[in-house]
Amino acid sequence: MTYIRSEIIGHGHYTPKKVLTNDDMAKIVDTNDEWITTRTGIKARCVVETEVNSDLSYKAAMMAIKNANISAEDIDLVVLATVTPDYTTPATAIKVANMLGVKSGTPAFDLSAACSGFVYALTMADNMVRLGQIKTALVIGAETLSKITDWTDRNTCVLFGDGAGAVVIRACEGKGDATDTGILASKIYSDGAHFDNLRTTGGVSVSQNAGFVMMDGKEVFKYAIGALAQGAEEAMKIAGITAEDIDFLLPHQANIRIIEGVGKKLELPEEKVIVNIAGHGNTSAASIPLALSEKMEDSTIKKGDLVVLTSMGAGFTWGGIVVRI
Ligand code: COA
């Protein structure tokens, strides 16, 4: 019996040209390179000047479409994970689909699950592929977090950056075991008991504006390693593999201490844990596809590699995906 899987056939990423180093941040708030580097692993972050979310999404998506060697007309679904859309409505995914030349009638929507947005979006798209509803999907994670950053709050403003990443997935046939190519398993979670630990100060329905990010960093930190490990472990259990089998763990890039903590919890050697936080900071829904695309582009991650994506963010939301590239 054949088994339908979703194979990643294209990757893309894009970051704005303007870079703010830690020394630049020290000119904005009372901070310094040593504090930011040792507490977070972040050295610099990219921020938009005139670009908006759809510009970043479009550029990452164009690269993914080219890399997949398909035409925009082949795409049956566009999902854009973000908490910083161009407009409240319509969805930025619809604008991006139109910019790309995706055919009229193609479903497109935004998905809001904060830093877990891409893992949620890829899970949704994979499910539609496996149900036979679509063949090819474009899944994007893109953020302009600089627009909801409180640039007077040193506790948060040093942490975030802007960027986008994208993948094209397409239906392929497998045997139904862990030797298959494509997405082998996924598991997503949320727990609203932590709603107030990491959220914006307002929102459309509450304050008629988007608000700014506020966070109880210590609470988030306490929860993050366990949640990231659980997302990875449960997805691996469903896929019928263990941490020993994987080539790479790609955790959400929020803090180097959290990333290293998850690697240790899963007993993975350092070289198997993907890290790109130094140049980007936390780009929320863009974090995983941005790192995935960068590492596929420089051939760190190669065809046939078994990769576990794991994320955790506001909500809290968290989850994991096992994918053979
Ligand atoms: N520069 C210099 N000092 C800073 C600072 C900055 N940018 N931000 C905070 N501080 C100060 C604090 O005011 C505090 O000073 P005080 O002791 O005089 O009050 C001191 O540094 C220690 O702050 P603390 O909160 O204990 O630091 P920490 O070791 O917990 O690190 C975070 C703070 C935010 C880096 C850390 O809690 C974290 O990474 N949390 C998770 C964040 C995250 O990943 N969020 C996204 C999840 S998707």
pLDDT in tens, the chain (325 residues): 789 999 999 999 999 999 999 999 999 999 999 999 999 999 999 999 999 999 999 999 999 999 999 999 999 999 999 999 999 999 999 999 999 999 999 999 999 999 999 999 999 999 999 999 999 999 999 999 999 999 999 999 999 999 999 999 999 999 999 999 999 999 999 999 999 999 999 999 999 999 999 999 999 999 999 999 999 999 999 999 999 999 999 999 999 999 999 999 999 999 999 999 999 999 999 999 999 999 999 999 999 999 999 999 999 999 999 999 9
**8 Å CB contact between 141 and 280:** no
Spatial separation of the C-alpha atoms in residues 120 and 324, rounded to whole Å:
18
Structure token digits, residue 179: 């030797």
Ligand 1, atom 46, lies closest to the CA of 254
Considering the candidates 11, 13, 194, 252, report the single residue annotated as catalytic.
252
Name all residues whose Cβ lies below 6 A of ligand 1.
31, 35-36, 39-40, 115, 154-155, 158, 215, 217-218, 220-221, 224, 254-255, 258, 282, 312-313
- Pick the atom of ligand 1 nearest to 215's CA: 45
Residue 251 C-alpha to ligand 1 middle, in angstroms? 20
Residue 194 is a catalytic residue: no
Q: What is the pTM of this model?
A: 0.98
- Tell me, yes or no, if 13 is annotated catalytic: no
Half-sphere exposure of 163 (CA within 13 A, CB side): 33
Q: Which atom belonging to ligand 1 lies closest to the Cα atom of 254?
A: 44
In this structure, the residue with its CA closest to atom 3 of ligand 1 is: 31
- Is 252 catalytic? The answer is yes
Q: Is 132 helix (H, G, I), strand (E, B) or coil?
A: coil
